[in-house]
Structure 1
Amino acid sequence: MAILNLSRLSFARKRRQLTKKQLAEMAGISSITLTRIDTGKIISPSEETVSALANALGYPVNFFYLDDIDEVNQQEVSFRSLKAMTAKQTDAALASGSLGYIFNDWVSSKFNLPEPDLLDLRSEDPSSAAATIRRHWGIGFRPIPNLIKLLESKGVRVFTLAEGKNVDAFSFWRDDVPYIFLNTVKSAERSRFDAAHELGHLLMHRHGYPEGREVERDADLFASHLLIPREDLIAHLPATPSLAKIISSKGRWGVSVAALARTSKDAGLLTDWHYRELCKQIATSGYRSKEPESIPRERSILWRKVLEELWKDRYTKETIASHLCLPLDEVDSLLQGVLGERVLVERNVAPPPLRVV
């Protein structure tokens, strides 16, 4: 007789951000019964009870009879906004990381995905780390047109978060493979900066993520130098640029007006006084909440190519979810933000090559 995996039941409950009492009510069972199941006093609950719990959680029944999930350790994760997150949101976000494991492992069993090509830059300061990885990747000091595409080509697995505004982004290493999860609710420019910020953590804090403002400032500074090389900035932006000039120029580097203004100050193109005046104009114009002349959101090339190849064998997202024993909405939540509404890659885009194992 199959034994219910209690760790998977707990995982799904946390992923859905439900208390035990809420789950029991939704499943139509008593809290006492759920407690007895959860503590192992009821080893083999009836099929009707498991089905009710599965329906309440929106997970397939067979999900709860598989082996333990390789869960993400919070101590190994970089969270940009940990203090703003509730315990439920943290648990749900960590669970999404575990779902990323499941999806990546399954895809890796069918394709040879790009191998990680990142460096251990713990000994370097943020600006040096940004310059070092640019040299290593051979991109010089020119702007990066599509950061997600670049990251994927260097072996980073990029997924989407669907946890609301309080969870900006996070990253971690697992079995020498780097992962980045992005919240695509925010502007395209902010998501792009978040991705660069998380790359900084992966490179500079690989063996642990100490908390603190200094660590986050270092990752922000790395992102600024990575996306806006100072040589290129000084060559293309005049001293004391106006807000209009900042807006017309920001598309070159794919950053927000606020990020470009701050970088201009750090690079000596703006005095403290001019920077403060510029910040007032940005706030007054409403550009902190709505980005002017917003750039198109970057999309995954890797996962689109994977889905294209799988479609040739008649794999839909529904059949993929079935093979993974996951609900369709979880597969969608991992990919939709970096894929967009259209699943198939446009024919005029050249995706990275994939080799079938």
Structure 2
Amino acid sequence: MTERSQLRLLGASRQTITAAEVAAVFDVGRLTQARRLAGLTKAALAMQVGVSAAAISQWEARTSPPRPDHLTRLAEVLDVPIEFFAAGRPHAQLDGSAAHFRSLRSTRSSQRAKAIAFVEQVWELAYALEKYIQFPPVDLPGFPPDDGDDRTPTSPAEAARALRVRWGLGVGPIPHLVRTLEMHGIVTTMVPFAGVDTATIDAFSTSRMPRPLIVLTPDRGDDVCWHRFTAAHELGHLVLHRNAAPGDPEQEHEADAFAAEFLTPAAQIRDQLPTRFDVTSLQRLSTEWGVSLKSLVYRCRELGTISDASARRAYQRLNQLYELRLIGSDSVANYAGEKPNLLHKAFELAETNGMLTMPTLAHELRWRLPRLRLLLGHYDERPILQLVENHTDAATPANAAQ
């Protein structure tokens, strides 16, 4: 029996594994993943562990494994159980160039690395849950099990219309877009996976996993219309750019065109669009179709119901109304069908049927419980109270006694 097999059996029989046992089956990919999730460079991690940056590089390059005492310190610094670093469980390593970031140029490489590592963990969670719960099958062109139809739409708008037909969505508004994505096998998530840095990482998607995956960031959830358009934009990447290298600005334009047609089909909405700037009409259409006022103005210009000059004036007027707070946005928190729920519901079903508990799933993944709760969407949304010592206070026990 190999050391890896022995460790797998040992991990199944007891809850803790020693550092020496992990060192014998050390997985360098796990170190890289944990370091990126923590947002640390090799030099920064080395400083906290108390080794040289060259040592971290050697560990990640497989030239030499860390000692057991180094593993113990790595686990402390990176906030993972020590058995997290052990080989022997599924790990879908994703290349950093395999994800479409909506704002690629403004997303730093360290942020992209953190986001990619997060996607790897989302896949691991989905994989673990699928051993107990049957997920909806993936239903997207080009993804197994596809029907093998080679007829590829020649434009983003045609691709959007074809997907509407394929999914049986009809020609009207899509009331629950994110729920619709999940019903067709697309894993979707929206959690603060990078802490406060999540707000600076825009939405992204990848088709390089066994299941397509869309990551929506919580800051976009403050505006349900923007949130829906972002989700449709990422869906466009999955449909149009599955095998294309991300980063091309033209791909972003194509994903926008796909989203516009998918959410507001031209043949249906053209006759409903106003021929002049009319806030009341735009607000009615915004509520009905679930798209923003600015998106509707763009659609008016795109479909020729208003001129370019009229569109510019409309944008200026809308900006004024937003600044005066005479119109505002609506939070996605008010729309259950726009909040990702697939992973959360899968775990609940497994738990209800006595297949899983939170601790057993965390142990299977070799994660800490708070990390599992976060990825399942069970994170605590309450503000964090931080107490700071004020050295200028006069009424303290020490000086009160003087």
TM-score range, shorter chain: 0.7 to 0.9
Give the length in aligned residue pairs.
Answer: 340
Residues 130-178 of structure 1 show CA distances to partners (whole Å, capped at 9, x for unaligned) of 1111111111111001111111111111123534233222222245521
CA distance, structure 2, for counterparts of residue 117 and residue 308 of structure 1: 24
Cα drift, residue 28 of structure 1: 4.6
CA distance, structure 2, for counterparts of residue 288 and residue 82 of structure 1: 32
Q: SS state of the match for residue 260, structure 1?
A: helix
CA distance, structure 1, for counterparts of residue 246 and residue 59 of structure 2: 37
Cα drift, residue 8 of structure 1: 1.2
* 8 Å contact kept, 1:184–1:191: no
Q: What is the match of residue 228 of structure 2?
A: 192
Q: What is the match of residue 255 of structure 1?
A: 291
CA distance, structure 2, for counterparts of residue 20 and residue 246 of structure 1: 51
CA distance, structure 2, for counterparts of residue 40 and residue 290 of structure 1: 59
CA distance, structure 2, for counterparts of residue 95 and residue 289 of structure 1: 39
Q: What is the match of residue 323 of structure 1?
A: 364
Cα drift, residue 307 of structure 1: 2.6
TM-score normalized with structure 1 length: 0.85
C-alpha distance 289-170 of structure 1, shift in aligned 2 (>3 A) = farther
> After alignment, is 136-145 or 153-162 more displaced?
153-162
C-alpha distance 215-35 of structure 1, shift in aligned 2 (>3 A) = closer
CA distance, structure 1, for counterparts of residue 225 and residue 326 of structure 2: 11
Please list, as runs of the form range in 1=range in 2, the aligned pairs for 1:266-277 lying within 5 A after superposition: 266-277=302-313
C-alpha distance 226-103 of structure 1, shift in aligned 2 (>3 A) = same
Residues 244-271 of structure 1 show CA distances to partners (whole Å, capped at 9, x for unaligned) of 4323431212122221221122122222
* 8 Å contact kept, 1:51–1:61: yes
Q: What is the match of residue 52 of structure 1?
A: 73
Q: What is the match of residue 8 of structure 1?
A: 30
CA distance, structure 2, for counterparts of residue 287 and residue 5 of structure 1: 52
Cα drift, residue 29 of structure 1: 4.8
CA distance, structure 1, for counterparts of residue 40 and residue 104 of structure 2: 20
Residues 45-89 of structure 1 show CA distances to partners (whole Å, capped at 9, x for unaligned) of 12x321221111011111101247321123332221111111111
Q: 2:205 aligns with which of 171, 179, 186?
A: 171
Corresponding position: 1:294 with 2:294: no
Cα drift, residue 215 of structure 1: 1.2
* 8 Å contact kept, 2:189–2:215: yes
CA distance, structure 2, for counterparts of residue 287 and residue 334 of structure 1: 35
Query: Aligned-pair RMSD on alpha carbons?
Result: 2.9
* 8 Å contact kept, 2:43–2:53: yes
> After alignment, is 80-89 or 29-38 more displaced?
29-38
State the AA in 1 paired with 2:215.
F
Q: SS state of the match for residue 139, structure 1?
A: coil
CA distance, structure 1, for counterparts of residue 54 and residue 250 of structure 2: 47
Please list, as runs of the form range in 1=range in 2, the aligned pairs for 1:335-346 lying within 5 A after superposition: 335-336=376-377
Q: SS state of the match for residue 119, structure 1?
A: coil
Consecutive unaligned residues of structure 1, counting only runs of 5 or more, are 343-357
State the AA in 2 paired with 1:305.
K
> After alignment, is 147-156 or 209-218 more displaced?
209-218
Cα drift, residue 234 of structure 1: 3.1
CA distance, structure 2, for counterparts of residue 288 and residue 123 of structure 1: 43
C-alpha distance 95-218 of structure 1, shift in aligned 2 (>3 A) = same
Corresponding position: 1:107 with 2:141: no
Please list, as runs of the form range in 1=range in 2, the aligned pairs for 1:232-251 lying within 5 A after superposition: 232-251=268-287
* 8 Å contact kept, 1:130–1:222: yes
Q: 1:27 aligns with which of 30, 37, 49?
A: 49
Cα drift, residue 31 of structure 1: 4.8
Q: How many percent identity over aligned positions?
A: 28
Please list, as runs of the form range in 1=range in 2, the aligned pairs for 1:86-165 lying within 5 A after superposition: 86-120=108-142, 122-160=152-190, 162-163=193-194, 164-165=198-199
CA distance, structure 2, for counterparts of residue 333 and residue 319 of structure 1: 16
* 8 Å contact kept, 2:133–2:349: no
* 8 Å contact kept, 2:190–2:340: no
* 8 Å contact kept, 1:189–1:255: yes
State the AA in 2 paired with 1:64.
F
CA distance, structure 2, for counterparts of residue 232 and residue 340 of structure 1: 42
C-alpha distance 328-134 of structure 1, shift in aligned 2 (>3 A) = same
TM-score normalized with structure 2 length: 0.76
Consecutive unaligned residues of structure 2, counting only runs of 5 or more, are 1-20, 143-150, 383-402
Q: What is the match of residue 209 of structure 1?
A: 245
